[in-house]
């Protein structure tokens, strides 16, 4: 039976970068190396334009009936004035919540060819390979109550709730321990247990679970210190696990260590490893449609899909290696451009990777 892949380019550069990854899928299909069916559906601003809401019913139905989702990016200035429930971001958040994609894996790997693109000194980032495991369906992103209300004096107050159940902490920490077992066997749990009760519980549950993983060395770090340590000496980390919002922030920092946010893929998995795969960068409306965006984060997200949801490790390895060879050849999109390299556009970069795979 064919594998079903839902393709959701979204908005802005999402459209161009997803197109390059889809070409690779077509290539694997037409060369009989992957039995796959692809269906495209609008999400984010495109969902609003097509059906009046950021996650149209048909898009959600397609997501549910697919084996994996390839997602681009969402958002654009033309949607900023919409009511909060209609904004593009809501489409992404609703997909994560509806499909219970609680485990967000964000690897930050520095390709040696890009050591000079990092804003940190090469010796600080050379060989960098961190996995950030971000909780994705709980915490302050989804906690109730939330809102903006007006009190008796007429002053407005905005509020959100940072809440985690033990079961939510339990499952995300187990994902992180399992990943640590397959890597360097070191796990750093990031929290704010010196101030927040919810972090106190987080730390307690993670610590309790450590007894099931005696081979993993567990440490704890407050989030402010973790942010500092990430730019001071990032190679001290192997796997990091943290709440939704801390993970959002720390993963952008980690991305920049690798030279460009345009290089980092992600996987968002449910309890059965069904997943949504997306570059961690946004829709970059300022450069959309100009053929200058970096498609590599999306292409590497496709590799993660093949690895984590479709059990196609060999094809995933091929993509990773092809990206390495293209960088070896000195091809660079604008975001990672360096002296002595050749600057290429989105399509040329995608085609170069495809050529390596052929």
Set 35, 212, 224, 328: catalytic member = 224
Verify binding: residue 58, ligand IPM, rule CB under 6 A.
Answer: no
Set 129, 170, 178, 252: catalytic member = 252
Let me know if 212 is a catalytic residue.
no
Verify binding: residue 20, Mg ion, rule CB under 5 A.
Answer: no
Verify binding: residue 248, Mg ion, rule CB under 5 A.
Answer: yes
Residues 271-290 that bind ligand IPM (CB under 6 A): 280, 282
Omega within 30 of 0 (cis) for the link into 247: no
Q: Between residues 248 and 318, which has the closer beta carbon with respect to ligand IPM?
A: 248
Set 141, 164, 277, 308: catalytic member = 141
CB 75 within 8 A of CB 285: yes
Let me know if 141 is a catalytic residue.
yes
Q: Between residues 40 and 89, which has the closer beta carbon with respect to ligand IPM?
A: 89
Let me know if 238 is a catalytic residue.
no
User: Residue number with the shortest CB distance to ligand IPM?
Assistant: 89
Q: Which of 110, 102, 90, 162 is closest to 133 using CA atoms?
A: 102
Choosing from 40, 58, 67, 89, the residue that interacts with ligand IPM (CB under 6 A) is 89
Let me know if 116 is a catalytic residue.
no
CB of residue 230 vs ligand IPM: minimum separation in angstroms? 16
**Which residues lie near ligand IPM (CB under 6 A)?**
89, 92-93, 248, 280, 282
Query: Catalytic residues, which ones?
Result: 141, 192, 224, 248, 252
């Amino acid at each position: 039976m064919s594998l079903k892949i839902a393709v959701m380019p979204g908005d802005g550069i999402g459209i161009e970068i997803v197109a390059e990854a889809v070409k690779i899928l077509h290539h694997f299909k037409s060369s009989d190396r992957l039995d796959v069916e692809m269906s495209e559906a609008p999400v984010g601003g495109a969902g609003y334009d097509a059906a009046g809401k950021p996650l149209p019913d048909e898009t959600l139905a397609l997501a549910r009936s697919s084996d994996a989702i390839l997602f681009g990016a969402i958002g654009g200035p033309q949607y900023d004035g919409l009511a909060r429930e209609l904004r593009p971001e809501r489409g992404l958040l609703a997909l994560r919540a509806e499909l219970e994609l609680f485990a967000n894996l964000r690897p930050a790997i520095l390709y040696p060819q890009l050591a000079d693109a990092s804003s940190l000194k090469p010796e600080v980032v050379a060989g960098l390979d961190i996995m950030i495991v971000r909780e994705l369906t709980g915490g302050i992103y989804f906690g109730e109550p939330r809102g903006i209300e007006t009190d008796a004096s007429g002053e407005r107050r905005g509020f959100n709730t940072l809440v985690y159940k033990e079961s939510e902490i339990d499952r995300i920490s187990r994902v992180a321990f399992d990943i640590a077992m397959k890597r360097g066997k070191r796990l750093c749990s990031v929290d704010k247990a010196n101030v927040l009760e919810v972090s106190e519980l987080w730390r307690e549950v993670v610590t309790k679970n450590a007894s099931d993983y005696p081979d993993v060395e567990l440490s704890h770090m407050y989030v402010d210190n973790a942010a500092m340590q990430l730019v001071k000496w990032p190679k001290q980390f192997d796997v990091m696990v943290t709440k939704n919002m801390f993970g959002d922030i720390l993963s952008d920092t980690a991305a920049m260590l690798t030279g460009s946010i345009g290089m980092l893929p992600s996987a968002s998995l449910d309890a059965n490893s069904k997943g949504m795969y997306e570059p961690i960068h946004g829709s970059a409306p300022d450069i959309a449609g100009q053929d200058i965006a970096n498609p590599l984060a999306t292409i590497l997200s496709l590799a993660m899909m093949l690895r984590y949801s479709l059990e196609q490790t060999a094809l995933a390895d091929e993509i990773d290696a092809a990206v390495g060879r293209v960088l070896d050849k000195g091809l660079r999109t604008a975001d990672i451009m360096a002296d002595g390299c050749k600057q290429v556009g989105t399509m040329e970069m995608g085609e170069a990777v495809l050529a390596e795979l052929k």
